[in-house]
Amino acid sequence: MLFVRCKGGISHNPAEAVDADDVGVALDVLTGFVQLLAGQY
């Protein structure tokens, strides 16, 4: 499970909002993890 920082700590709520930069960091982490897994098989 990958968590992305939410503005004001609000999650699972219609008021939930994330910053585009934080989404970019999460995607970089996810991409790196998938690449690491792919290299192990």
Please report the pLDDT score of residue 41 as a whole number: 62
Please report the pLDDT score of residue 40 as a whole number: 79
Please report the pLDDT score of residue 14 as a whole number: 93
Please report the pLDDT score of residue 17 as a whole number: 94
Q: How far is CA 23 from CA 2, 6, 30, 40, in A?
A: 11, 10, 10, 26
Residues of the chain with pLDDT under 50: none
CA atoms of 27 and 22, how far apart (whole Å): 9
